[in-house]
Amino acid sequence: MNKKYYIITAIGTIVVLASLGIFALVKSNTLKALEYEPKISTKTVQDTSDLDNLVEGRKSIAIEPREFLVVALLPQVSDRETEPAEPSAIDDSKYIEINISRQTLYCWEDGKIVNSFLVSTGLGGTTPIGTFRIYSRTRAGLMSGPGYYLPNVQWINRFTGPYSIHGTYWHNNFGHPMSHGCVNASNANAAYVYGWAPMGTKVVIHY
């Protein structure tokens, strides 16, 4: 009995000492980790704001500078006007003629027709007759009213009130009246007018 007692006591003592040794080792490593003072590279400190990484009484590891990708914003297509409401200059060497009887638009420059194409004017004679000027332009926008709702109508050139020459994606029946009063053109032809005719360009509409 006494021999077994001594053996058990010895084993218990060894376990206790081993536990104390492990605790001491862990405590020592923990203290060393807390006392670790990383060096801040001069490349990291870009300005005085980086000194906020140094907190009084403690040290924090400096974070590497972040890299950001700067992307240029693309032009946004919206229903906002892209040109001032009033023309800044009027050049009568160019003008637009719209012949309702022929359902044709002509682009005149220096007394010559430089382009012409079929359009669709308003049903029931709703397209205004007379001489007007392009007073407002929109790259793309919403058109809506009784019986129609058309988002993203492109290449809009307004010449009087709500009436405009604009692109059309909902039909291709050009050469026949189709609209509520505007002058419908294909997107390609409307884009040509948008780029060719500056603000203030004269628009002559007749039968």
SS3 assignment, position 200: coil
pLDDT over 70 at 197, yes or no: yes
What distance lies between CA 179 and its chain's CA centroid?
31
Name the more confident of 40 and 117. Answer: 117
Burial profile 167-189: b = 16 or more Cβ within 10 angstroms, e = fewer:
bbeeeeebeebbbbbbbbbbeeb
Tokens of 101: 């009887």
DSSP at 179: B
The answer to whether 165 and 190 are in contact (CB under 8 A) is yes
In CATH terms, the fold of domain 94-206 is: L,D-transpeptidase catalytic domain-like (2.40.440)
Backbone angles phi, psi at 191, to 5 degrees: -65, -35
- Confidence (pLDDT) at 18: 53
SS3 assignment, position 59: coil
pLDDT over 80 at 139, yes or no: yes
pLDDT over 60 at 184, yes or no: yes
Backbone angles phi, psi at 131, to 5 degrees: -115, 125
- Confidence (pLDDT) at 26: 40
- Confidence (pLDDT) at 36: 39
Return the amino acid letter for 91. D
How big is the chain, counted in residues?
207
Q: Calculate mean pLDDT across residues 118-127.
A: 97
- Confidence (pLDDT) at 90: 76
Q: Calculate mean pLDDT across residues 55-77.
A: 37
- Confidence (pLDDT) at 181: 97
Cα–Cα dist 8/160, whole Å = 107
- Confidence (pLDDT) at 28: 46
Bridge partner residues of 136 (DSSP): 158
Backbone angles phi, psi at 66, to 5 degrees: -85, 150
With a pLDDT cut of 70, the percent of the chain lying above it is: 57
Q: Could you tell me whether strands 136-145 and 130-133 are parallel, antiparallel, or unpaired per DSSP bridges?
A: unpaired
- Confidence (pLDDT) at 31: 41
